[in-house]
Structure 1
Amino acid sequence: MNPLSKLALPPKLEPYRKEIEKTCKPYVHINTVINSPKLYESKFGGNPYLPLEANHPLDSQGKPMLLMAQINFSEVPSYKNMPIQGMLQFFICGADNENAGDMYGLDFDHPTSQKDFRVVFYEDVTTDENKLTTDFTYLEDVDRDMFPIPQEVGLQFEIKSEPVSPTDYQYNDIESDLFDDEEMEEIYWDELTGEYHKMGGYAFFTQSDPRDYDEALRAYNVLLLQFAMDDEADIMFGDAGVANFFIKEEDLRNHNFRDVLYNWDCC
């Protein structure tokens, strides 16, 4: 079945369905599951997959960072340019960096600087826990007061399709072709935000897309991961905020995760 046929629209937007569907892209929708994932399974929060020979990522103060997410691609449906196997991890420091003025590991002046956040990729994943770190007592003293993901939750994935998010900078190029009525545009902004956990597709922002006012950042053209507000999993960045990671398409194809654009904002 064509995924576009499943696109749910508010009744008042039905006359614009054809134009809206032209903007649709597939993406990997992520659902959180309240369970106890294994060390080698996909999850938000909790202890990371860490081979015995690997080092735990440290922040700019030399302290261990906390796991935001890990994606085991063997559990993810095939998606353009994404790995078909391997473990992708996202770490941030647990507290504000008072020296740099950072929060949630982001240096707003240098959003690709992985000094207080880190993206790690393992090409091969073992399920033998005898080959993995299992003692994480060294994390007990890490400050978690500001950590936005307070509990470990499992993840499930499915391919869906979505129209352009009104807060993604790409919306600016097509909005004039979508609506000739201000009321319809307001309905679109209210109903089709793209505010959920995902990989690929369009990004959601509570404030603005940094790529909108900095054209150089548009080279980071793939949404690698989005964390949205999640009441069930108790996930929130600031006041009803969202976090996004972007990567250049060529780097994604080459499994090069050293150059990633990180952004978060809140209301």
Structure 2
Amino acid sequence: MKKIDELLEEYELTDIKDYIYKNIKNSIYLSLTGEDDYKVQGVSRVGGYPDVPEKFEWPSTKDGEPMTFIAQLNLKEISLSDENDFLPKGGILYFFMGIDEPAYDIEHKVVFVEADKNLMIRKPDKVTVLEEDYEESFVPYKIESKACVEIPNYAYMDYDIIEDSDEYFSLEESIRFENQGENYIGKIYGYPEDQHNDSELEAALKIIANHKYSYSSKDKEKLIAALNGDEGKADAEINDIVMLLEIDSNSKIGFSWWDCGVIHFFIRKEDLKNRNFDKTYLSLYSS
């Protein structure tokens, strides 16, 4: 990674080189390529409506209302950017969600369909929950992916190791902004955009222990208890939580997560590798 080495020299941070390389994460950055006219089915898309098999069952909230379609990822294309090699090599991955209130444990559904052929554009039988809440439909955009790397952001950086935080922030922003570009819409993997470094604990607590996060020191204790008191296993589960998708607010599409926030879907690494998308977690962060 010659580029990282050059940036460490530029920002005079060579003394934390080992920390940087230990904490680099592969990610897949997603960018808008243009408004989608639905002429080609099965493309990677955010907003609008999905292309699905004939007998696809539209996800509903616990109140029986249709969830809102957020994105579909054509994994034959997206997986080419997957340096982690976790994603299936084909098929379509769909993301739906309910009302984004409160910001944690948001109702949602992630659906994997192995086929990417014989798909058709599908609209729900009635207005979805977010369309009704926002009083508008969301504009469809095609997206493309590219492999990128990230270093810990301001929420995840180790302040005990990083003495010059201003220079570190500049380094992190330089890497991130160079990769994002003006049409950036979100990413797979990497460090969540958040205020604190507890998103993975929050997700693990719900997925594994079925407890809602309370921002308490006892939250991890609940996870440990659910794993028969094994703290090491709890730490391993937290570390193995993968951010399956993060989507930014975007005025072109109409997404506005509490004005200018992000939503992020999480999954256990083992479940992702086994193509088990029944246990996922969705939260929202907005500054």
- Short-chain TM bin: 0.7 to 0.9
8 Å contact 1:167–1:193 — kept in the other structure? no
Q: Deviations over 1:180-212 (max 9, x none)?
A: 235435546766678861111221115663345
- Per the alignment, do residues 33 and 234 of structure 1 end up closer, same or farther by CA in structure 2, a change over 3 Å counting? farther
Moved more, 218-227 or 150-159: 218-227
8 Å contact 1:220–1:246 — kept in the other structure? no
TM-score, normalised by the number of residues in structure 1: 0.75
Offset at 1:48?
Answer: 1.3
Rounded to whole Å, the distance in 2 between the matches of 1:250 and 1:85 is 18
Q: Name the counterpart of 2:113.
A: 122
Gaps of 5+ in 2: 202-214, 224-236
For the pair 1:200 / 2:169, whether they are aligned, the reply is: no
* Matched letter for residue 142 of structure 2: G
* Matched letter for residue 156 of structure 1: E
Offset at 1:34?
Answer: 2.0
Moved more, 41-50 or 229-238: 229-238
- Per the alignment, do residues 146 and 208 of structure 1 end up closer, same or farther by CA in structure 2, a change over 3 Å counting? farther
* Matched letter for residue 145 of structure 2: F
8 Å contact 1:45–1:152 — kept in the other structure? yes
Rounded to whole Å, the distance in 2 between the matches of 1:89 and 1:141 is 15
Rounded to whole Å, the distance in 2 between the matches of 1:135 and 1:222 is 29
The residue correspondences of 1:58-207 to structure 2 (distance < 5 A) are: 58-76=60-78, 77-79=80-82, 80-93=85-98, 96=99, 103=101, 108=104, 111=105, 116-126=107-117, 128-129=118-119, 132=120, 134=121, 136=123, 138-140=125-127, 144-146=131-133, 150-168=138-156, 171=157, 174-177=158-161, 179-185=162-168, 187=170, 197-206=186-195
Residue correspondences, number: 242
* Matched letter for residue 87 of structure 2: M
8 Å contact 1:166–1:192 — kept in the other structure? no
8 Å contact 2:32–2:141 — kept in the other structure? yes
* Matched letter for residue 285 of structure 2: D
Moved more, 184-193 or 152-161: 184-193
Gaps of 5+ in 1: 97-101
Rounded to whole Å, the distance in 1 between the matches of 2:247 and 2:5 is 22
Rounded to whole Å, the distance in 2 between the matches of 1:236 and 1:149 is 12
State the SS of the aligned residue for 2:125. Answer: helix
Identical residues among aligned pairs (%): 23
Offset at 1:66?
Answer: 1.4
State the SS of the aligned residue for 1:91. Answer: strand
TM-score, normalised by the number of residues in structure 2: 0.71
Rounded to whole Å, the distance in 1 between the matches of 2:138 and 2:6 is 32
8 Å contact 2:153–2:191 — kept in the other structure? yes
Rounded to whole Å, the distance in 2 between the matches of 1:6 and 1:232 is 33
- Per the alignment, do residues 85 and 70 of structure 1 end up closer, same or farther by CA in structure 2, a change over 3 Å counting? same
Moved more, 202-211 or 134-143: 134-143
